[in-house]
Amino acid sequence: MAITVPRPKLTWFERLYLPAIVAGMAITLQHFKNMLLGRTKVTMQYPEQKWDAQLPEHYRGAPALVKDEAGRIRCVACQLCEFICPPRAIKIEPGEIPVKDRFSKVEKYPREFDIDMIRCIFCGMCEEVCPEQAIFLRKDYAITGLTRAEMVHNKEKLLEIGGIMHGVVLKWNEKK
Amino acid sequence: MAEGPPSVNVQIDGVWHQFPKGTRVIEACAQLGVYIPRYCYHPKLSSPGNCRMCLIEMGLPRMGPDRKFELGADGKPVINWMPRPQICCAQDVAEGIGVRTSSPLVEECRRGVMEFLLINHPLDCPICDQAGECRLQEFSVEYGRADSRFLENKVKKPKRVQIGPRVTLDDERCILCSRCIRFCQEIAKDDVLGFTERGGHTLLTAHPDKPLENNYSLNTVDICPVGALTSSHFRFEMRVWFLKETKSICTSCATGCNTIIGSREDVIYRQTPRENVAVNSVWMCDYGRLNFEYLTSPERLLEPEIFSGNKLQPSDWKTVISHTALQLRHFTGWDIAIVASGRMTNEELWLTARLAQQLNVSLIDIVPRKGEGDDILLSQDRNPNTNGAKIILGLEGKTGANLEAIAASVAEGRIKALVVLGEDPTQFGITVEQLKKLPSFITMNILRSAATAHATAVLPSAAYAEKRGSMITGLGRLQRLNRAVRPPGQAREDWEILRDLLQEVTGSNGLGSIEDVFRQMAESIPPLGGLSLSKIGDLGVKVMATPENSTTPLPPGEPADEEIFERPLVHAPK
């Protein structure tokens, strides 16, 4: 079934068209004038110039693992991020913390933790799903490498990006 | 049909139903699709009624002075509802009783019980192996609170306790349902677990001198509704939600326990029992459950190899199959002996029998495999398919009767070509020196051994979880294997190798899929007549009477009699 699209009724002034063309031209000339006077900035010269200082608080860059104030890797290898990750970029190999260790109460830690940054889509689901506040999206965005292997962030690299996180919930205290 | 127990009328959620006498109320509700939350109740164990999660409202029929039920306007008994809730796991159905499974009182009770159970529970789901299949998680979604009203410190209990060689205990997670204790008393007959201390400090403990080390200990892990008992083998290996579950059977003895194989990306992480009342009830022994490590052994044969240029060298399947067939055709039937295996599936055995028939081989046998059995599930016969081998290869009486003759003929040099499928010839009296002298020694196997180094053709095959097929248990039940993972390297499913070999010897045989093999086999083997791989189903079909010398125990606490499948008289036209 065809749908009849009603055409707007134009007044005789609108049907002249010339006033509209003149108005449009005026805007273009205004821009031209601003450009000649150097009032418009169109292009930022990346990578010589960077916008890092202005990155918004909610910016989602590379995911990274964090340690808490006590120096413990907060991840307990529950593998929920591996499960939720839409492009399946995360690969975790869980391990057991020995009984004699300082953090033996936590029992489990990631022996290996790889994020394939070629696959990562910076969606932030890993951060959202993490029950341990262990993975956060940081503001690093220029992730480059010459080989595929270089683009896989292993546990050391992820901890290096992540650093220490202050003010997170400490749920594995001895008293709890 | 045998007369069952008489039926009684029960009102559940306002509707009258009939159930056989002796049905538990919790089971009657389950039959109507109403799942009552429960922790301590397990259908195969006694009901202590100690978790209080299955509380329901119940009422008895009102009696008149004449000791008869008072009938309401609808002609049904009027029910006097009890003011307090009752547990339904220890209550049998009775004439005229009424049950309400979801009233405000019941919901409130369940919320209260959940809150009590979680008082001392450590909220360590991220590191708990039970997460994902934990009853506590499931019911707290329905009846739990978002926050805790409990301000005191939680009770500290021992964690990471090895209560046996295969079981790890976390007492803080335990909700004291006593399922594991009852399992050890009633099924495993090894009463080593118990509660010590009192009140909130109650602990599940193993006897100080007797660890939980019986061959059924891992069943306690299966029935533990929370993560208190976990398998030391599976501990922290993989989260359960990643596991692909494949229905299969255990091939470690003639019992053929039904299993679920949990695998992820071609690696098997665990095996758990699957309910089949005619075979294994809901249990499984530890020996069979953990017997899958060899699938990832570094000794796995990964490439087909052929003897050429004075040494064994890897080649492609096509070359190896045609060279193997050439070796076999070089000799007459009298020069060849075939040793098959009781671990092979019916389809593989049938193709072996066809090959033997084509080559005119009469010396054929399987290797018997005996071990210690028990009267719970484990058979003395450790071959999963002895009965299939007997029927299909036409072996009469004891298996392994021809092995001595074969070994003697090899020693005398009368046998020129020895075909060994899935077995190691050094295990039945043939020395490595004798193997070296054989003009042709063809072996199809999973693992490399001293013998495979002296073969003239090595055919790498698939293990039980890497192939499809069927087997007949010690009790004469036809069951189905399913493929959970892919064979490693270039290893192939055994039936494909045998099919190709048979094709090379005879020409085309029209066997494209394993269904074709089963169909042709069912035509020639009477007990399998009228069946197909899909008709076997997940629970198997009893195809023959239990042999008199069977060492397979009946499943604990289950009825034994079952009718033998007979070929239907009417067939669909072809």
Nearest CB partner across the interface for A76, out of B126, B154, B242: B126
CB-based contact B242 A175, cutoff 8 Å: no
Domain boundaries, chain B: 7-114, 126-296, 305-469+483-524
For B216-231, how does the pLDDT look when each residue is reduced to its tens digit (9 = 90+)? 999 999 999 999 999 9
Q: Is residue A167 part of a domain?
A: no
Which residues, listed in sequence order, are joined to residue B443 by a DSSP beta bridge? B420, B458
Query: What pLDDT does residue A125 have?
Result: 95
Write the DSSP assignment of B109-157 as a string of letters: HHHHHHHHHTSS----GGG-TTTTS-HHHHHHHHH--SS----SPPPP-
We report the CATH number of the domain holding residue A141 as 3.30.70.3270
Chain A residues whose C-beta is within 8 A of a chain B C-beta are 76-80, 82-83, 94-96, 99, 105-108, 131-132, 171, 175-176
Domain that holds residue A76: 63-162
For B231-275, how does the pLDDT look when each residue is reduced to its tens digit (9 = 90+)? 999 999 999 999 999 999 999 999 999 999 999 999 999 999 999
Pairing assessment for the beta strands B258-264 and B244-249 based on DSSP bridges = antiparallel
* Residue B164 CB neighbours (<10 A): 22
- Cα–Cα dist B535/B566, whole Å: 13
Instruction: List the one residue out of B435, B395, B431 whose CA is nearest residue B419.
Output: B435
What does the DSSP 8-state code read for residue A68? -
Please list the ranges in chain A whose pLDDT falls under 50: none
CB-based contact A108 B239, cutoff 8 Å: no
C-alpha R_g of chain A: 27
CB-based contact A78 B131, cutoff 8 Å: yes
Query: What pLDDT does residue A175 have?
Result: 66
- Cα–Cα dist B11/B234, whole Å: 44
Write out the two tokens for B303. Answer: 């490439």
The residue written with tokens 């060849």 in the block is B336
Query: What pLDDT does residue B309 have?
Result: 81
CATH number of B305-469+483-524: 3.40.50.740
Q: Is A124 left (phi over 0), alpha (psi -120 to 50) or beta?
A: left
Query: What pLDDT does residue A114 have?
Result: 96
Query: What pLDDT does residue A176 have?
Result: 64
CATH architecture of B126-296: 2-Layer Sandwich (3.30)
Q: Is residue A112 part of a domain?
A: yes
CB-based contact A94 B237, cutoff 8 Å: yes
Q: Which chain A residue has the Cα nearest residue B130?
A: A78
Q: Mutual orientation of helices B135-143 and B104-117 as an angle, nearest 10°?
A: 130
CB-based contact B127 A95, cutoff 8 Å: no
Please list the ranges in chain B whose pLDDT falls under 50: 1
Nearest CB partner across the interface for B126, out of A78, A95, A105: A78
Q: Is residue A155 part of a domain?
A: yes
Name the CATH code of domain B7-114 (choices 3.40.190.10, 3.10.20.740, 3.40.30.10, 1.10.10.10): 3.10.20.740
Domain count, chain A: 1
